[in-house]
Amino acid sequence: MNSRIASLGVIFLAALVLLLAWNNNAHNVQAPAGYATYVVERPIFGATTFKEVLLGPDSTGLSWRLYGDRVSVTPYSYSENFTGPDAVIARDKLAMQGSAHIVFRIRSDKESIRTYMEKFGGLDEAHSADETAHLAYENYIQQPFKTLIREEFATENGLEVPNKIGEMGADITRKLSDRLANTPFEVMQVVIGNAQPPQLVLDQIAQKVAKTQELERKATEQQIAELNKNIQKAEGEADGEKELAIATQRALANKQISDSITPQLLQYLAIENMKNAAKIYVPIGANGMPIVGTLNTDAPARPSEPAK
């Protein structure tokens, strides 16, 4: 009887040990939405081995000594500022300040997840999934990204950059994607933020523009003054030509009138005037017609002859 009780006690104790061991070593490894989970098996004795990659939402179910490290497959966004001594140089040697933003993610296929975990620092139990992704950015993406920014700015003149930031961002996206094609990182977008010369340069440009506008205004005023002067000159010449033409016509008319006054006309006019006169005293010539002539009133008068 005592031996039977002892046997049951051993069985119960063994079952309890097995239950505790199961609770401590059996896990349901999960991958929530937006994450992938790198699953490994860690036997009590022996080396840890890769088991599988779960793409969330998914789970392994309750399994013996399976463990998982999560990887976020949602996009990450980081910014790089180029100000002060880190300013980028445009093609025309103008220093440019501003920022550039990158959006990338870890590729969400199982092979890329495994590559990231085993070859790109993903197996980092000391940091969270987001911290590990940031470290991966610093180690594998940041420097190529910054280099491409500088190369892209070197192809454009500084003052033309604000009008081309869309094209420049697309070029950097394409080139960086090519460089990272054999990595687990996918570049989704690069955006060039506000990019402009230092404030001192902007002030100098504004002053130059203001001076140029003032010179253009004065040049325009001078052109208007010259035009008005030419108009007045042309109007004066036209008025002079008009007066000259009038004077010429008047002289011609006077000459024609003068040429038309003959002795015969004067005689005729004299006879016509006589018709309505009460008395007329006129000298009569030998032909019986009134004598018409021109008296020289400027000649000195002859002295009268003494009466005989």
Q: Which domain holds residue 52?
A: 21-72
Is 99 or 264 the better-scoring residue by pLDDT? 99
| 91 and 188 housed in the same domain | yes
Q: How far, in Å, CA of 85 to CA of 79, rounded?
A: 17
- Mean pLDDT throughout 34-48? 86
User: How far apart are the C-alpha atoms of 90 and 152, rounded to whole Å?
Assistant: 9
As a whole number of angstroms, the distance between CA 62 and CA 27 comes to: 5
- pLDDT value at residue 200: 67
Outline where 85-196 has alpha helix (H). Answer: 110-119, 129-136, 142-153, 165-179
End-to-end alpha-carbon separation of the chain, Å? 219
The model's pLDDT over 140-170, given as tens digits with 9 standing for 90+, comes to 999 999 999 999 999 999 888 989 999 999 9
Mean pLDDT over the full length of the chain: 82
In a domain, 155, yes or no: yes
Task: Give domain status of residue 27, yes or no.
Answer: yes
Closest CA relative to residue 102, chosen from 85, 125, 86, 78: 78
Residue 229 pLDDT exceeds 80: yes
Domain termination residue (choose one: 197, 218, 249): 197
Residue 183's pLDDT band (boundaries 50, 70, 90)? very high
More confident site: 243 or 114: 114
Percent of the chain residues topping a pLDDT of 70? 78
> Are residues 148 and 59 part of one domain?
no
Residue 193 in contact with residue 98, Cβ under 8 Å? Answer: yes
- Check residue 172 and give its pLDDT: 96
User: Rounded to whole angstroms, what are the CA distances from 135 to 37, 57, 76, 289?
Assistant: 18, 25, 12, 140
Predicted confidence band of residue 4 (pLDDT cuts 50, 70, 90): low
What pLDDT was estimated at residue 268? 72
Q: Is the pLDDT of residue 216 over 70?
A: yes
**Given pLDDT bands bounded at 50, 70 and 90, which one contains residue 54?**
very high
Interval 188-197 mean pLDDT: 89
Co-location of 99 and 176 in the same domain? yes
Q: What's the pLDDT at 225?
A: 84
**Count of domains for the chain:** 2
What whole-number distance in Å separates Cα of residue 109 and Cα of residue 256?
115
Choosing from 55, 72, 89, the residue where a domain stops is 72
Give yes or no: residues 132 and 57 share one domain. Answer: no
Selection from 8-17, 108-117, 238-247, 274-283 with the highest mean pLDDT: 108-117
Q: Residues 230-250: what's their mean pLDDT?
A: 83
The pLDDT value recorded for residue 299 is 59
The verdict on residue 283 lying in a domain is no
In a domain, 303, yes or no: no
Residue 133: which of 73, 187, 57 has the closest Cα? Answer: 73
Report, as an integer, the average pLDDT of 13-23.
55
Residue 297 domain-assigned (yes or no): no
Q: Which pLDDT tens digit goes with each residue over 69-95?
A: 999 999 999 999 998 888 999 999 888
Q: Are strands 95-106 and 35-41 parallel, antiparallel or unpaired?
A: unpaired
Tokens describing residue 88:
């980028």
Q: What is the pLDDT of residue 14?
A: 60
- The answer to whether the beta carbons of residues 116 and 136 sit under 8 Å apart is yes
Tokens representing residue 52 in the block: 């599988």
**Same domain flag for 182 and 111:** yes
pTM confidence score: 0.61
Higher-pLDDT residue of 23, 99:
99
Q: Is the pLDDT of residue 42 over 70?
A: yes
Question: Are 150 and 142 contacting, i.e. CB atoms less than 8 angstroms apart?
Answer: no
